[in-house]
Structures are given as structure tokens and as C-alpha cells.
A and B are shown apart, each in its own frame.
Chain A
């Protein structure tokens, strides 16, 4: 939690400390991959919105649609206004937009998330490299200790 102010070479740490660092890193990595999955989900939702908005077109005016009242209850309805849709822009605000505006809005959202995903995947990769490096160091240390337990116990009082 609290960050250590000075830089520490991980080769100087003993196995227990390394395990602690590894646990921390893995926690961070987990958190990041979770965020990644969530962003992916959000992105696919917005993509769906783009597709859906395209279906609300003048050609479909008056077509019967099923309006979901709950997850399992639908009532038939008719598409009366093919020009405008109402978009949730967050924090409880909704904006009436033309179809084209809505499509642009959702596309820009998808694009925004894509750029976020890119930087996030970069971070994840770096973290993964860190973890791998750490595991490597740990393994060498463990190997050293098992090979010469007497020396190791002397050098690590």
C-alpha cells in the first residue's frame, strides 16, 4: 500500500520479501486485467448501440417492435419517430439526438475506449514482464539456497 521511497534492487531482497513483492505485483496485474475485461465489455456494448441505431431508419417507420418492460415481459409498439433517438450521456442526463449524431456519439465512444484499451494492454504487458523477471530472480535464489544451504544460511542471518 505505502510506496517505498527509495529504490531497491530486487536482487538484494530475500526470498520472503520477493514473495511479498510478487504477491503485490500479481494483485496489481489482476486488477488491471479485470479493468481490461470491463473496458472490452463496455466497448462491445457501444458497438451494439451503433448497430442498433442503424436499425432505426425511416424505412422501418411503423414497423411493429417489441418493447421490453422487464426482462421477460414485452409489449408490441410501433416506431413512430425514426429521426431521433435519446442517448444516455452519463450522470443521469439524456440527450435527444438525430440518428447520425447518435451514431457518431457511439463511434467516438468506441474509439475512446479503444485508445484506453491500447494503453492499458501496454501497462499490463509491462507488469507481466516485471512479474516474470521477479519470478526468475526468485527461482535463481531458491536454486542457490538449495544447492548450498550451509552457505546461504551464513550469508542470510
Chain B
């Protein structure tokens, strides 16, 4: 019975971990697509289109190339993070799968012992 409790607690923890990671990935995905949109927008600008960056409540003019470079680095960073989170998710999924089979084995054991020695 203790083993069952332990296993299910571990399983639950893994599930919450997984949920957090999936959430993180969704957020990264949103950031990625937003930055990609900005990059696309920057790609077809002319010299007349001044770029401003909002720093707090003020808009500061910024060099086009600098802004492009900034977005590029951000994209790279986000992609790196995505990869990291992705591999973490995979790992956690595998662990969850393992825990689940473990849990099923324990449950069947418990059920069988209950069947053999039914509680009075």
C-alpha cells in the first residue's frame, strides 16, 4: 500500500512537471512567432521607415541593422530555449510512462492480494 502511495505521488509530480513544461513551450512558441513576424516586417522596410524601440513609455529611434540583429539574436535564443524545453518534455514523458507502468503493476498486485485475502 505504501509503495502504491509513493508511486502515485511520484506520478502526480511528474504530471505537474510536464504540465509546467508544456506551458513553457507554449509561451516560447508564442514569443517565437511574434519575433518571426517582426523579422518578416523588418525584412521589407525601406530606409524611410524609421524603427523605434519602446523603452518603458518612450520610443527611441533605433538603427535598422541594429534592430534586425537584435531580433535575430532573440530568435536564436528562443530557439535554443525551445530545444532545451523540448528535450526536457521528452525526458519527462518517458519518466511518466515508466511510472505509469510501475503504477499499474503495483495496482494489479494490490488488487490480487485483496482478491486472495478479501478484507473481512
Contact = CB atoms under 8 A, between A and B. Distances in A.
B38 A96 contact: no
B51 A2 contact: no
Contacts of B2: none
Contacts of B55: 92
A91 B38 contact: yes
Nearest to B100: A2
Nearest to A2: B96
Given A2-B96, A2-B100, A93 B52 contact: yes
A94 interface: yes
Interface stretch (A47-55, A97-105, A128-136): A97-105
Contacts of A90: 34-35, 37-38, 41
A93 B49 contact: no
B38 A1 contact: no
Interface residues of B, number: 28
Given A1-B18, A2-B18, A92 B54 contact: yes
Indicate the size class of the contact surface on chain A: 10 to 19
Given A2-B96, A2-B97, A94 B54 contact: yes
B59 A86 contact: yes
B19 interface: yes
Q: Is the interface of A mostly helix, strand, loop or mixed?
A: strand
Contact of A94 (B45, B53, B96, B97): B53
Given A91-B35, A95-B49, A105-B41, A1 B54 contact: no
Contacts of A73: none
A94 B52 contact: yes
B85 interface: no
Q: In the A-B complex, list the 6 residue pairs whose CB atoms are closest, starting with the nearest.
A: A94-B52, A96-B50, A89-B41, A92-B54, A90-B34, A90-B38
Given A92-B53, A93-B38, 12 more contacts: A86-B59, A89-B37, A90-B34, A91-B35, A91-B38, A93-B51, A94-B52, A94-B53, A95-B50, A96-B48, A97-B49, A98-B48
21 contacts: A1-B22, A2-B15, A2-B96, A2-B97, A86-B52, A86-B59, A89-B37, A89-B41, A90-B37, A90-B41, A91-B34, A91-B71, A93-B38, A93-B51, A94-B54, A94-B59, A95-B42, A95-B45, A95-B49, A95-B50, A96-B49
Interface of B: 15, 18-19, 22, 31, 34-35, 37-38, 41-42, 45, 48-55, 59, 67, 71, 74, 93, 96-97, 100
